[in-house]
Amino acid sequence: MNHYQKTLIVSPDDLDDLNHVNNVRYLQWVQDISKEHWQKIATPEMVQNMVWVVMNHNLNYKNAALLDDVILIKTHIAESRGAKSIRVVEMFNTKTNKVLLHSKTEWCLLNAQTLKPIRIPQEVEAIFS
C-alpha cells in the first residue's frame, strides 16, 4: 500500500472561535494531501488525462488541535472498484501521538476531457499499491 505523509504547523488562520483548528480547515487539508499524493505518484499523462472528484466525505473528529501544534497527516487508498476509490486520511498530534481526525473519502475518476466516469486503469491501481 502506497502511503503519503507530510507535517504542518497550526497557524492563527487555521483556528476557529474556540481557538481550535476549524473543521473546514481539516477538510481542506484532507483535499490538499489527496491532491498532492496523486500529483506526486501519477505520471504527467495520468494527471493530464484523468481527474478525481469527491462523491462523499466522512470525517471523524477525535481530538482538538491548537495553535503551533505540529500535525502529521497520512493518507492511502484503502480500496478501489470500478471508477471509485476510498481514500483514508488520518491526522495526528506529533507531540502526543493522539489521533486528531480520521476520514474516508469516496472519489470518482473522470476522463479530464469528457468529465465522464472511467474505470480506474490497472496502471493507476498499481501506483497506489
Query: 31: domain CATH number?
Result: 3.10.129.10
Spacing of C-alpha 129 from chain mean position: 16
Find the domain containing 100 and state its range: 4-128
Give the whole-angstrom CA distance, residue 88 versus residue 41: 17
Output the pLDDT for position 1. 66
Question: Whole-model pTM?
Answer: 0.95
Which triple of cell numbers denotes residue 82?
Answer: 470500478
Structurally, the chain folds into a number of domains equal to 1
What is the residue type of 101? L
* pLDDT by 10s per residue, the chain, length 129: 689 999 999 999 999 999 999 999 999 999 999 999 999 999 999 999 999 999 999 999 999 999 999 999 999 999 999 999 999 999 999 999 999 999 999 999 999 999 999 999 999 999 998
Q: Residue 82's closest CA among 124, 26, 129?
A: 124
